[in-house]
Structure 1
Amino acid sequence: MAILHNRVSQKELKELLYQETEPRTTISFYQYFPIAEPEQFRNELYKNLAALKVFGRIYVAHEGINAQISVPQSNFEAFKTYMYTIEPLNGIRLNIAVDDDGKSFWVLKIKVREKIVADGITDETFNMSNKGRYVNAEQMNTLLNDPQTIVVDMRNHYEYEVGHFVKALEVPSDTFREQLPMAVDMLKDQKDKNIIMYCTGGIRCEKASAYMLHHGFKNVFHLEGGIINYAKQIKEQGLDSRFIGKNFVFDNRLGERITPEIISKCHQCGKPADTHVNCANDGCHLLFIQCEACAAKHEGCCSKECQDFIHLPEEERKELRKGIDKGRNIFNKSRHRLRPRLGEDQ
C-alpha cells in the first residue's frame, strides 16, 4: 500500500527544501463543491500530488477543497493537467503568488476537516450556491469610487493591520465565525448600498457574500481570487492599486508586498514596520510585528522573559515547557491581549 503521509522529520524536510536547486511556484486555490467521501478524495489527491513533489497544506471537506501549495516549476503543467482531470476543478483559477521565493512549504499535508473554512453556521437553509457577484480588479477600483459602496475586509485583525483596501471596513474579530454575524449587524442599516467583501484568496469572502445574501442584503459582491488575484491583475493591466501595504499569507513567508507603503508599527518600539515574525522562544511562538532593530536587540523574541528563556540550558527549557499549550498565538493590539491564531486562508 502507498504511504499516504509523511514519515520524515520537519527539520530534515526543511533542510532538503533549501538544498533544492529547481525553482518552485507558490499557488493557492479553493472550490466549493460536494465531496461525498472526503477521506477517499484526500488519499487519491495525496498519492498524485506527492508524485509531483508538491508541498503545502490542503484541507478537504464535504463542502470542497482549500489549498496553499508549492510546485516545482518543471511539474507545474503536469500538476495543472491532473487537477483539471477532477471534474469540479476543471479550469479552476490558480492564484500564483506575486512575491515568491519558492520556499513557502517543505512538506505535503492533506487533512480532512468538517469544513474548508470554519464558519460557525448551523442554519440548514444556508446555501453556498446563492453567493455574491464576482468583481475583478478593474471593477473593484470602479466600485470603490462610488460613494454607495462599502468595502468589507473579511480577514483577521493581524492581516488587516499590515495591509488593506482604502476605506475598507474592518470587522474587529480574529475568527471568521465571529465576523459573519458581526458584519450583518454592522451593516444592517446599509442594505441599499453596494457591499463588496474581500479576503486573501477568495474563500472567506465568497462564503461571506452568500451569508449576507442569506440575511437579506441585495447588492453583494466579492473580489474574485481575493487580494492575491487582484495584485496579479493590477500588475498585468497597469492599474492603480487601491490596496495598500502588505498581504498577509499563511505560509512560511507570512506576507507578500503589494505596495511600498508601510502602514503598521513595530509592536515593541512603535516605529513603522510590517514584518510578522513568530517569537524565537518555541514555548511562546507569538505572532507579532517586529522591526529589524528590535529583532536584533531582542534576538527575535517578543519579551525580555522569552529572551532570557532561550538562553537557558536545553534541559531546563524542556522542563519549563512541560504542560504549556504551544498553540500559536497572535498579538492583537486592538484588544490589548493575546488571541489564538485560528484563521487560515489562501
Structure 2
Amino acid sequence: MKQYQTLLYYCYTAIENAGQFAAEHLEFCRSINLVGRIIVADEGLNGTVSGTREACKTYMDTVLADPRFAKTDFKIDDVDEPSFIKMHCRYKAEIVHSGLRNPAIINPAKQTGKHLEPKEFMEMKDRDDVVILDVRSNYEHALGRFKNAVTLDIENFRDFPARINELAKYKDKKILTYCTGGIKCEKASALLLHEGFKEVYQLHGGIIKYGKEAGGKDFEGKCYVFDNRLAVDVNSVNPKTISTCRNCGKTTSKMINCANPECNEHFTQCDECGWKLDGCCSETCQAHPRKRPYDGTGYYVKVPQPVNVSKKLKLIS
C-alpha cells in the first residue's frame, strides 16, 4: 500500500467572506502537513492536495463535515510521494477561469448538463446521435483525449465561450462534455444550455473517475494533471499513445513545461530532445538567461503569492 495520496476535487457552493476563508483554509492544510494548490472563490472551492493517507482522510472528513461542501466528490490517487512541494490556497474571482461571472446567466449550482456516471458515459459515447466534446485546452487534449472527440483550438478555458459558435452544427445532437475532473464541464455545459443546445451531458468526475470506474476505455493517450506528475495513465483496456515530440516528431507521452520561465509553455517532448534542449521548447528559450535547470521532469515549482492571514484563524467546521 502506498503511503501517500493525491486528492482532486471541486464544489460549487456560495462561500461568504471567501478571501478570509482562503487564508484560514491555508493554515488548516498546513497544520495537517498537506501540500497542493487550492482556489477559493465566492462561487466555491477547487483543489488538488497531497499528503499522507492519514492527512488526506482528515482533510476529506473535515471538508465533508461542512454543510457547504457535503456533496464534494473526491477523486483519490495512491502515489509514491506527494504530488506537490508547497501548499498554496488563494482567493480568485472564479474557481476555474472562464470569464463567465454572471450568476444570473451561468450558475453551476443551479443548472448544468445532466451528469453521467462513467459507465453511463461509456455506453452513450459511440451512439450516432452523440458528440463527445473535450472542453480542455490544446496542450491537454494533444496529450490525450477520447476517441472521436471534438476538440476546440483554445489556449485556456477562458477562450471556450468565444468558440462556442463553432459547435452550432451539433445542436441536433446529444453533447457529452468531459474534462479532467469535471469542473470545467460544469460551466461549459451550463453555457451550452444557455446558448440553446437542448441535450447536454457531462462526465461526472471527469477523465480521472472514468479511468478508475470504467477502465479508461477509448481514452487515447495520457491525461494532463496540474501537479508534478504532469501526466497520468487512464486507459487499462485499450491504451494508445497519440502525442508526439514537438521537436522531432517521435511518439512520446511525456509532458513538460518549458525551462524558460518567461515561456513556460506546456508541450510534449521526448527524453532525447529534452536533454538536448535542456527542457526548452526551442534553442531560443535554451539560450535565455533565466532558463531554469532541467532535471528530466520538466516540472517547476511556482513562486508562492502572499496571502493575507488574520490573527485569529478558524478551521472550517
TM-score range with shorter-chain normalisation? 0.7 to 0.9
Which moved further from structure 2: 242-251 or 292-301?
292-301
Measured in 1, the distance between the counterparts of 2:210 and 2:243 equals 21
**CA distance 1:116–1:282, change in 2 (3 Å):** closer
Measured in 1, the distance between the counterparts of 2:103 and 2:279 equals 46
* Residue in 1 that maps onto 2:33: 53
Measured in 1, the distance between the counterparts of 2:201 and 2:186 equals 9
* Residue in 2 that maps onto 1:131: 112
* Residue in 2 that maps onto 1:191: 171
Which moved further from structure 2: 50-59 or 279-288?
279-288
Q: CA deviation at 1:198?
A: 0.6
Q: CA deviation at 1:171?
A: 1.2
Deviation per CA, 1:57-94, whole angstroms, max 9, x where unpaired?
10101110110110211223222211112112124210
**CA distance 1:43–1:265, change in 2 (3 Å):** same
The answer to whether residue 280 in structure 2 is matched with residue 301 in structure 1 is yes
Conservation of the 8 A alpha-carbon contact between 1:26 and 1:102? no
**CA distance 1:139–1:120, change in 2 (3 Å):** same
Unaligned runs of 5+ in 1: 1-21, 310-316, 322-346
Measured in 2, the distance between the counterparts of 1:75 and 1:207 equals 31
Rg larger for = 1
Q: CA deviation at 1:39?
A: 1.7
Q: Which amino acid aligns with 1:241?
A: K
The answer to whether residue 212 in structure 2 is matched with residue 232 in structure 1 is yes
Q: CA deviation at 1:123?
A: 4.7
The answer to whether residue 99 in structure 2 is matched with residue 117 in structure 1 is no
Which moved further from structure 2: 201-210 or 44-53?
44-53
Conservation of the 8 A alpha-carbon contact between 1:96 and 1:228? no
The answer to whether residue 184 in structure 2 is matched with residue 208 in structure 1 is no
Q: Secondary structure at the match of 2:145?
A: strand
* Residue in 2 that maps onto 1:286: 265
* Residue in 2 that maps onto 1:168: 149
Q: CA deviation at 1:304?
A: 2.8
**CA distance 1:222–1:283, change in 2 (3 Å):** closer
Q: Secondary structure at the match of 1:264?
A: coil
* Residue in 2 that maps onto 1:66: 46
Find 2:70's aligned residue among 60, 66, 90.
Answer: 90
Q: Which amino acid aligns with 2:125?
A: L
Which moved further from structure 2: 80-89 or 266-275?
80-89
* Residue in 1 that maps onto 2:124: 143
Deviation per CA, 1:172-224, whole angstroms, max 9, x where unpaired?
111212212412x1222332211111111100011111111111211110000
Number of residues of Structure 1 aligned to a counterpart in Structure 2:
287
Measured in 1, the distance between the counterparts of 2:168 and 2:202 equals 18
Unaligned runs of 5+ in 2: 293-317
CA root-mean-square deviation: 2.2
Conservation of the 8 A alpha-carbon contact between 2:50 and 2:56? no
* Residue in 1 that maps onto 2:136: 155
The answer to whether residue 220 in structure 2 is matched with residue 241 in structure 1 is no
Conservation of the 8 A alpha-carbon contact between 1:193 and 1:219? yes
Identity of aligned residues (%): 34
Q: Secondary structure at the match of 1:130?
A: coil
The answer to whether residue 197 in structure 2 is matched with residue 217 in structure 1 is yes
Q: CA deviation at 1:119?
A: 1.3
* Residue in 1 that maps onto 2:304: none
* Residue in 1 that maps onto 2:309: none
Conservation of the 8 A alpha-carbon contact between 2:144 and 2:222? yes
Find 1:264's aligned residue among 243, 253, 266.
Answer: 243
Q: Secondary structure at the match of 1:43?
A: helix
State TM-score, norm by structure 2: 0.84
